[in-house]
């Protein structure tokens, strides 16, 4: 079954698919595309939400109210580790997707576990950074700049936390149900979600941390 033959079914509501495509199969390919597409639209809306927090951060970045600025607070070495953890977890997530598609247990569970550990490591570093800042009196209540910083970065952290919950659920689902088509569609959505968090982190890394220390 060629990819091209499968995708002809897209958008035609199951009828009018290429005659060589069996009904069931065309239905499958179609659902996978629709679910992935819908989830992309959702992710775009999530990116719009983040862009609102980015905009607020950009407006408030200099409103330190006499308190510390990014230059005083950010430690790029920690941020480098956070970035490395997250990028590597994205790679592991990609490996897990291949494993799921190939129905290979060790590859899927192993890579998902690595993804989870790296994600948890990222969260640990982030929470550590937050606790440290609050400890020296640079919490979100200190200034508008810090409010915007904690909200933007914290919102990303919250997404990673929810992503971890989802990740564990997906491991359990595959364990309980096997590599069923509907489960594989969810694995696809999870992977899209996890990669999107990476893209947002790259923006946070650049706009918040790099510009915060350099400019």
Partner 1 sequence: MLGKLTWADIPLDQPIPLIAGVGAFSIVGLVVIYVLLKGWGPYLWREWITSVDHKHIGVMYVFLAAVMLLRGFVDAIMMRSQQALAFQAPGYLPPDHYDQIFAAHGTLMIFFVAMAFVIGLINIVVPLQLGVRDVAFPTLNSVSFWLTATGALLINISLVVGEFSHVGWLPFPPLSELRYSPGVGMDYYLWSLQISGVGTLLTGVNFVTTILKLHAPGMTYMRMPVFCWTAFASMLLIVAAFPVLTATLAMLLLDRYLGFHFFTNEAGGNVMMFNNLIWIWGHPEVYILVLPAFGVFSEVFSTYSGKPLFGYRSMVAATMVICILSFTVWLHHFFTMGAGADVNAVFGILSMIIAVPTGVKVFNWMFTMYGGRVRYASPMYWGIGFIVTIIIAGMTGVLLAVPPADFLLHNSLFLVAHFHNVIIGAILFGMFAGYTYWFPKAFGFRLDERLGKAAFWCWFVGFYLAFMPLYVVGLMGMTRRMQHYDNPAWYPWLLVAAAGAAVILVGIGFQIAQLVVSIRNREELRDTTGDPWDGRALEWSTSSPPPPFNFAVLPHVEGTDAYWLMKQRARERGAPEPEPAYQDIELPRNSATGFVCAFFAAILGFSLIWQIWWLAALAFVGAFATFVVFAWRDRTEYRIPAAEVARIDRENRAARRLALAQMEPAE
Binding residues vs partner 1 (CB under 8 A): 10-16, 33-35, 37-38, 41-42, 44-46, 48-49, 52-53, 55-56, 59-60, 63-65, 140-145, 147-148, 150-151, 165, 169, 173, 176-177, 182, 186
Least separation in angstroms between CB 200 and partner 1: 13
Of the two residues 52 and 84, which places its CB atom closer to partner 1 in the complex?
A: 52
Task: Evaluate whether 9 touches 29 at the Cβ level (below 8 Å).
Answer: yes
Query: Could you tell me the CA-to-CA distances from 3 to 6, 8, 23 in Å, in that order?
Result: 5, 9, 15
Least separation in angstroms between CB 11 and partner 1: 6
- Widest Cα–Cα separation across the chain: 71
Query: Could you tell me the CA-to-CA distances from 190 to 97, 109, 170 in Å, in that order?
Result: 9, 14, 8
Least separation in angstroms between CB 182 and partner 1: 7
Least separation in angstroms between CB 181 and partner 1: 11
Task: Evaluate whether 130 touches 138 at the Cβ level (below 8 Å).
Answer: no
Of the two residues 2 and 169, which places its CB atom closer to partner 1 in the complex?
A: 169
Of the two residues 5 and 56, which places its CB atom closer to partner 1 in the complex?
A: 56
Of the two residues 92 and 148, which places its CB atom closer to partner 1 in the complex?
A: 148
Least separation in angstroms between CB 81 and partner 1: 27
- The gap between the terminal CA atoms of the chain, to the nearest Å, is 55
Distance of CA 198 to the CA centre of its chain: 5
Helix, strand, coil percentages, rounded to 5, for the chain: 80, 0, 20
């Amino acid at each position: 079954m060629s990819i091209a033959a499968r995708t002809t079914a897209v958008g035609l509501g199951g009828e009018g698919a290429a005659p060589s495509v069996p009904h069931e199969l065309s239905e499958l390919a179609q659902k996978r595309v629709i679910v992935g597409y819908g989830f992309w639209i959702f992710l775009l809306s999530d990116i719009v939400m983040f862009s609102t927090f980015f905009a607020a951060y950009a407006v408030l970045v200099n409103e330190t109210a006499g308190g510390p600025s990014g230059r005083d607070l950010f430690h790029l070495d920690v941020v480098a580790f956070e970035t490395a953890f997250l990028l590597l977890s994205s790679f592991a997530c990609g490996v897990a997707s291949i494993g799921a598609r190939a129905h290979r247990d060790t590859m899927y569970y192993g890579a998902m576990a690595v993804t989870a550990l790296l994600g948890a490591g990222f969260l640990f570093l982030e929470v550590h950074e937050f606790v440290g800042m609050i400890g020296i009196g640079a919490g979100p209540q200190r200034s508008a700049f810090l409010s915007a910083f904690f909200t933007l970065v914290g919102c990303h952290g919250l997404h990673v936390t929810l992503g971890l919950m989802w990740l564990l659920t997906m491991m359990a689902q595959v364990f309980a149900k096997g590599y069923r088509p509907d489960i594989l569609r969810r694995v696809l959505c999870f992977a899209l979600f996890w990669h999107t968090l990476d893209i947002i982190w790259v923006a946070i890394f650049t706009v918040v941390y790099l510009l915060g220390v350099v400019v």
